[in-house]
Amino acid sequence: KKLSVRELIILDELKDVWPNSFEGQPLEEYFKINGGDIYSHPLSSNQESLVHLVNRARGARKLIIEAVRNRYTEVAIVSHGDLLSAFDWGLKRKENPISYEEMKKSFYLQKGQAIHYRVGPEGQLVGEGRLITVETVEKSVEKYR
């Protein structure tokens, strides 16, 4: 209400990792993984792959375009770090990342940051995006990003 949001749309495509096989595991197990790459080191056979994550983010973009076409001029997307990194990747590139490390080095929001994109009517990126942050934003407390 404080932001005057006119409509809230919840998309399953913007949820965190499907399923996150590390959920419920000791944090020490997660820290053993180089760079937090749960996609290359799943704990279960049904863990989402990096390619699936990026393609899911691309699918979310298509759904958003269809949902807001001719209705809104601005949209805010809220999600989790890996999904937002995949969203940025899919917005800027046609190919998939070769690794999680490549994707997160390309773009990864820290806590308290946002990015403002301008997109065309078909969802194509216009410009590079503008990072919104403040000087007091610190790196993620998890220390694995």
Q: What is the distance between the alpha carbons of residues 63 and 128, in angstroms, rounded to a whole number?
A: 21
CA angle, residues 88, 92, 98, in degrees to nearest 5 = 80
Chain-centroid distance, C-alpha 69: 22
Which of the pair, 126 or 21, is modelled with greater confidence? 126
Residue 144 pLDDT class (50, 70, 90 cuts): very low
The predicted model scores a pTM of 0.82
Q: Is 23 left (phi over 0), alpha (psi -120 to 50) or beta?
A: beta
The answer to which of 9-13, 36-40, 121-125, 138-142 has the lowest mean pLDDT is 138-142
- Across the range 73-83, mean pLDDT stands at 85
- Across the range 22-40, mean pLDDT stands at 81
SS3 (DSSP) at 22: coil
